[in-house]
Structure 1
Amino acid sequence: MRITVINPNTSVEMTRIIGDAATRAASPNATINAVNPDSGPPAIENHYDEAVATVPMLEMVRDGEANGVNGFVIACFGDPGLNAAREVATGPVIGIAEAAMHAASMLATGFSVVTSLERTCVIAEHLVQRYGMREHCRSIYACEIPVLGLLDDHGAAWERIVEKCRQARDTDGAGAIVLGCAGMADLTQELTNELGIPVIDGVSVAVRFVEALAGAGLATSKHGDLAYPIPKNYTGEFARLSPGKR
């Protein structure tokens, strides 16, 4: 089984962290290809970044689909362009926020999200509503660490993340923690050991969800709004993205 894990930002180091987490989680019969675009934002930290990053990400899904990839993981906690990617793909496409929240709801009656910046909390709030998790999500905490700060000052980032996770556990009674950034994917086991509760990285569980769905012979519905995009000719810079063209 071939699974492409897409980091929609351009950070090669973050893609390495994401790819390592995905490979550790995958079963032996799965081949993981972790990739990032060559153009776009180096980190996704707001709505504008998400919008810009979606276009090259969709191109990567389209090209992977043409080359026989069995499923995709969108490794950004905002799940940018998720339904658009599902329109393009035949196999399952899973977002890491979607995967992590559903996994947390299966492991605890309540979970909290610990993410990077305060301004991204509203994105997480919207996803909580979208995924029907309002009854499960106790709170959303921001560490006020820029995404690339997770790479630049790992020690300080660790201390801040642990602090917020403890706060979620002790103040909210959260039975599980969802990490709200793909750049935290390498911290889950240490945090689980530190806190004594499940700490969930969406990259790992998304890979397993893709494996489960594809392994069960299930594909993305092509009835209704997730049908392939309606063929038409785009103009100008986006002509290469015209539906039906490769």
Structure 2
Amino acid sequence: MSLLLLINPNTSEAVTRQLAQAAAALTPAGGQVLTRTARFGMRYISSEYALALASHAVLDAYDTALSEGTSPNVVLLGCFGDPGLLALRERARVPVCALAEASMREAVERGRYAIVTGGAAWVPMLRRLAWSLDLLDPLAGIVSVEPSGAELAADPEMAGRVLRQACQQAAALPGVASIIVGGAALAGWAARLQPEFALPLLDSVDCGLRSAWHMTCV
């Protein structure tokens, strides 16, 4: 049996439950998912400061899981921003993947891509991440909506309205072949909005899970 350790770098248990629900739908036969929530940091990461704290919290969550006897086959960071990814890859003895990298790599297979996410502070952070992964050139643009991911999750009616508008804006960018709906708290929205769009809408959580399971022998 292959075990996926799914770490939520946010301190919100509600986000962890969302991640677990998404994981349950994509866990293959013979697979098991264990979730861990960051013990410190911010309830929902939406700033450079919060991202820095989360990088430390991710390492702490991994070490804590191992100290409890957990032996994962793969680790997934459940945050669209990938805090602590490179540090955890250096430390862990198993493959480590994360939502933003996985979704960007899946999107670029189709050509130029755009990102829709919550919170304006994420725009420069995601552009920097795309640059570090050598995936900035195919990035047509990032459309951020004013509410954070946590605020979107708390108000589904508002979330549907603003995410629909953002996806329409992203679809109008030159050469876009797919749109990433990025954010742990936005899990499920790509599928809900897909019938309204000709372009593929990629759910960052689903992309991360597919990437993680691909790295195992399940």
Partner-residue secondary structure (3-state), 1:114: strand
What is aligned with 2:165?
Answer: 163
C-alpha displacement at 1:151, in angstroms?
2.1
- The residue type equivalent to 1:127 in the other structure is L
- Closer/same/farther in 2, CA of residues 193 and 34 from structure 1, 3 Å limit: farther
What is aligned with 1:56?
Answer: 57
Instruction: Please state which structure has a larger fraction of its residues in strand.
Output: 2
What is aligned with 1:47?
Answer: 48
Which of 94, 100, 103 pairs up with 2:106? 103
Structure 2 residue 86 is matched with structure 1 residue 83: yes
What RMSD, in angstroms, separates the aligned Cα atoms of the two structures? 1.6
Partner-residue secondary structure (3-state), 1:118: coil
Are the aligned partners of 2:140 and 2:173 in contact in 1 as well (CA < 8 Å)? no
Moved over 4 A (4+): none
How far apart are the structure 1 equivalents of 2:47 and 2:200?
28
What is aligned with 1:199?
Answer: 201
Structure 2 residue 20 is matched with structure 1 residue 19: yes
How far apart are the structure 2 equivalents of 1:209 and 1:109?
18
How far apart are the structure 2 equivalents of 1:75 and 1:173?
29
C-alpha displacement at 1:172, in angstroms?
3.1
Unaligned stretches of 5+ in structure 1? Answer: 217-246
- Report the TM-score when normalising by structure 2: 0.92
C-alpha displacement at 1:85, in angstroms?
0.8
How far apart are the structure 2 equivalents of 1:65 and 1:103?
30
C-alpha displacement at 1:25, in angstroms?
1.9
- The residue type equivalent to 2:90 in the other structure is E
Unaligned stretches of 5+ in structure 2? Answer: none
- Closer/same/farther in 2, CA of residues 174 and 6 from structure 1, 3 Å limit: same
C-alpha displacement at 1:213, in angstroms?
1.9
Residues 127-178 of structure 1 show CA distances to partners (whole Å, capped at 9, x for unaligned) of: 1111111232110011111221022211101110110111111243422111
Residues 108-138 of structure 1 show CA distances to partners (whole Å, capped at 9, x for unaligned) of: 2111001111121000101111111123211
- The residue type equivalent to 1:61 in the other structure is Y
How far apart are the structure 2 equivalents of 1:79 and 1:156?
26
Partner-residue secondary structure (3-state), 1:38: coil
Which of 94, 98, 112 pairs up with 2:97? 94
How far apart are the structure 1 equivalents of 2:57 and 2:167?
33
How far apart are the structure 2 equivalents of 1:19 and 1:213?
19
What is aligned with 1:71?
Answer: 74
How far apart are the structure 2 equivalents of 1:124 and 1:101?
10
Bigger Cα Rg: 1
C-alpha displacement at 1:3, in angstroms?
0.3
- The residue type equivalent to 1:56 in the other structure is A
- Report the TM-score when normalising by structure 1: 0.82
Equivalent residues, number: 215
- The residue type equivalent to 2:105 in the other structure is H
